[in-house]
């Protein structure tokens, strides 16, 4: 669905929910995931609706993913070799009704 404007650069592997994805080193992580056809980044914890990046500039927090057990804005992070990214799990200790 999304196409890179400038596909040059060092090809690397990253992981989304344990699935290997090809990215370009240093590119915007949210863009890399979108380019790999990941469109469901997380589910809204209240409405449970699927969510994906919206603003691509750090303002809307729709692009949150989990990295090293923490929620991070994918659009504010660069893709690096072997980066492990996952969909956000519910915050630990908080029951999900």
Partner 1 sequence: MGSDYAIVGGGIVGLSVAYGLLNLGETVTIFDEGDLAFRASRGNFGLVWVQGKGMKQPAYAKWSRNSAALWKGYAQELEEATGQTLSLQQDGGYGYHLTEESLEQEIKDYTWLKEQLGGDYPFEVLRLNELKKEEPNVGTNFAGAVYHPEDGHVNSLQLFRALAKEVRRKGAKLVTSVTIQKVETAASGFRLTDDSGKVYESEKLVLSAGLGSMKLGPLLGFKAPIRPQRGQVMITEKIPKLMNRPSDTLRQVNEGGVQIGASAEEVDLDDRETPATLAKLAREAIQIFPDLAHVKTVRSWSALRIMSPDGLPIYQESLTCPGAFLVTCHSGITLSAAHARLLPLWMEGSHTAPELDPFGEDRFNV
Closest to ligand FES by CB, 2 vs 11, is 2
Task: Please report, for residues 5, 25, 97, the alpha-carbon distance to residue 67 in angstroms, rounded to integers and kept in the order given.
Answer: 26, 17, 24
Select the binding partner of residue 96 from ligand FES, partner 1, none (C-beta < 5 to 8 A, by kind). Answer: partner 1
Residue 77 binds to ligand FES (criterion: CB under 6 A): no
Spell out a b/e string for 25-46, using b for 16 or more CB atoms within 10 Å of the CB, else e. Answer: eebbbbbbbbbbebeebbeeee
Select the binding partner of residue 75 from partner 1, ligand FES, none (C-beta < 5 to 8 A, by kind). Answer: ligand FES
Residue 45 binds to partner 1 (criterion: CB under 8 A): yes
| Residue 15, both tokens | 């992981």
Residues 51-70 touching partner 1, rule: CB under 8 A, are 61, 64, 70
């Amino acid at each position: 669905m999304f196409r890179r404007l400038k596909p040059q650069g060092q090809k690397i592997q990253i992981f989304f929910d344990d699935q290997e994805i090809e990215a370009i080193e240093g590119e915007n992580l949210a863009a890399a995931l979108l380019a790999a056809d990941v469109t469901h980044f997380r589910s809204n914890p209240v409405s449970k609706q699927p969510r994906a990046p919206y603003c691509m500039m750090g303002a809307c927090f729709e692009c949150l993913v989990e990295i090293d057990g923490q929620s991070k804005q994918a659009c504010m992070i660069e893709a690096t070799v072997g980066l492990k990214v996952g969909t956000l799990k519910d915050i630990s200790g908080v029951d999900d009704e």
